[in-house]
Chains A and B, each alone.
Chain A
Amino acid sequence: MRPHSSLKQEFLKEWIKGLQRCSFPKKSILERKKAIKLSADIAMASARNGTTCWSRALISSAAKDGSDNNHLVKQILGPESDRPAVENKAPARQASVCKKILKRSCRIRRRGRRKCGAAAAPSSIAKHLVKKRRQILRSLIPGGEFMNEICLIEETLDYITSLRVQVDVMRSLATASVRGTE
């Protein structure tokens, strides 16, 4: 796909930078895999330069102080003046607050719905189904809980394209390294 080639280049550069920066544990496959995936995710998100919500959410969730990946993340992000991560310290807190409020409101809404009883009208059933799926989509996309529906769909679009780029690059890398070691 033509438009993705420059994105691929960007992603590749960032990823390789990140990979080289993180001190490779060389111990277990799982740790390595975690490091690879993490650096890939962060590279993908920083390729967006903070223009999309999911990228910021991804970086901020990775850089959260309580997470176990923190040291890796710091290594990967460290030398860079990582703007998306730096910007997101405050929004991350706000985001968590918003998250709590959202959850509370969702709970209340759900309680209200249950009190009304199951609606028999097909349109409301359809709406219910769609809402369920929207919820699932929100849980899939990083930072999806804070978006309204329009944002959600836009972010999904963007996220899908970046995921595709990531998969393509990783796949070519994997096949190439296999070829190289043969």
Chain B
Amino acid sequence: MELNAGTAGTGSLKTASERDEVAALESLQFTDEIRRLMSAPATDNASSFTALLELPAPQAVQLIHSPDSAKLIAAPPPAPNVDDFKGSFNFPFNSGLIERATRFSLFAGDGNINDNNKSNSPEPTSYNSSANLQKPVKSEPTETESYQPLVSDPTVENRSTKRKDREKVKGSTKKSKTGAKDSSDDAQKLPYVHVRARRGQATDSHSLAERARREKINARMKLLQELVPGCSKISGTALVLDEIINHVQSLQRQVEFLSMRLAAVNPRIDFNLDSVFTAESGSLMDSNFSGMVMPMMLPEVQLNGNRQQYPQQLHFDAFQQPVWGTEEVCNNYITPENSLLSYDSSGNSASLHSNQLKMEL
């Protein structure tokens, strides 16, 4: 769990006693909620962005994954979870966590900022709890969207840095997102980006914000590099962007070309759609089909992993016929055909089945 990893990582910076006391309490109540939150989006939307991100995951991927999963969380309103957090964490944790926060944060040698921190007591910087503690203070419109992705972070961050009375505190008490384990927790729960000032670099809030933004952009660029074939070996943003542009252009050209080809091949699209359905759905089946179509089909279909089982195909025919008779919508035609054609290896049987289909219809 990323949360535990995060707490383990940060714990090294504080005294052991504090860590035990606080982390134990936190872990009890946090991990369940957060585990729930994090597991929920993993099952959603397998087709989209997050599925793409389940590819070999470099650190940067986690950075993107969590905001996306947080996006998906935000769609079903996380308000009850937020309230839970609010209610359960506000009072008991205030003092303990703030102490932890004060020792936690990196100050560029400023002792007075400790005082500032303590005085602005509802202004914690510990990334595990700041979401909860900052909510009552900030009362921002993005409160319920505190789980929102990194994209919203710059806006919130800018808003916060504009408040001049807190600017100094923010600037020096931000923590870096150099580690992915930290960042994933941050992105999940916080409206703020916490960036640690590295050694020898300016602790100005603006430059920190800039750096956070740059890191975000770099992370996403890494993802793009992995997606576009042949980009991972190239170093340098301009060349990578070149490749990406070429790729996008070539894909668009391919779409044009293919649509032209389809227009040429099919003078009467309406007529040929049936045969096209069967054949093309068969070929789609050949390439890759995972859970989407399978659940719609009967469990018997899954028993036959072999493609060469013709007698059982006939069995499927008999089974599928009543289904075809009842369904009118064209997209439902695809799935019964898929069940037949998935175990077809030869084109002959495909055409046979398609003829059967046509006769049925």
Binding site for B on A (CB under 8 A): 1-10, 12-13, 16-17, 19-20, 24, 26, 29-30, 32-33, 35-37, 40-41, 48, 51, 126, 129-130, 133-134, 136-137, 140-141, 149-151, 153-154, 156-161, 163-164, 166-181
Contacts and interface: CB of A to CB of B under 8 A. Distances in A.
Interface stretch (B1-9, B119-127, B202-210, B280-288): B280-288
B330 A16 contact: yes
A16 B331 contact: yes
B68 to A, nearest CB: 9
Given A5-B290, A150-B150, A167-B254, 16 more contacts: A3-B46, A5-B284, A12-B334, A16-B277, A26-B267, A26-B268, A130-B241, A137-B241, A156-B248, A163-B252, A163-B255, A170-B262, A174-B258, A176-B282, A180-B272, A180-B279
Contact of B292 (A5, A48, A153): A5
A20 B330 contact: yes
Interface size class of B (residues with CB under 8 A): 35 or more
B42 interface: no
11 contacts: A5-B289, A6-B46, A7-B47, A8-B284, A19-B273, A29-B263, A36-B269, A40-B255, A150-B213, A157-B227, A170-B255
A7 B50 CA distance: 13
A33 B280 contact: no
Contacts of A9: 292-293, 334
Contacts of B51: 2-4
A33 B260 contact: yes
B289 A37 contact: no
Contact of A158 (B49, B241, B258, B270): B49
B276 A160 contact: no
Interface in B92-143: none
Interface of B: 46-49, 51-52, 54, 64, 150-151, 154, 213, 216-217, 220-221, 223-224, 227-228, 236-238, 241-242, 244-245, 247-249, 251-252, 254-256, 258-270, 272-273, 275-277, 279-280, 282-284, 287-293, 330-331, 334, 347
Nearest to A29: B263
A106 to B, nearest CB: 18
Contact of A149 (B217, B249, B261): B217
B307 to A, nearest CB: 18
Contacts of A172: 280, 283-284, 287
B153 to A, nearest CB: 10
Contact of B280 (A20, A166, A176): A176
B220 A20 contact: no
Contacts of B267: 26
Contacts of B150: 150
A4 B50 CA distance: 11
Contact of B151 (A133, A136, A151, A156): A151
A178 B217 CA distance: 44
Contacts of B236: 126
B48 A7 contact: yes
A167 B258 contact: yes
A5 B288 contact: yes
A177 B251 contact: no
Q: Would you call the interface of chain A mostly helix, strand, loop, or mixed?
A: helix
B297 to A, nearest CB: 13
Contacts of A179: 279, 347
B334 A133 contact: no
Nearest to B72: A51
B259 A6 contact: no
Nearest to A153: B220
Contact of B227 (A30, A150, A160, A174): A160
Nearest to B68: A154
A175 to B, nearest CB: 7
A20 B251 contact: no
Contacts of B262: 33, 36, 170, 173-174, 177
Contact of A178 (B47, B151, B265, B273): B265
B220 A160 contact: no
Contacts of A5: 47, 284, 288-290, 292
Sorted nearest first, the 5 A-B pairs with minimum C-beta distance are A3-B51, A176-B280, A176-B279, A32-B263, A133-B241
Contacts of B48: 7, 48, 51, 158
A139 B282 CA distance: 37
Contacts of A129: 238
Contacts of B269: 19, 24, 32, 36
Nearest to A31: B263
B331 A156 contact: no
A177 B279 contact: yes
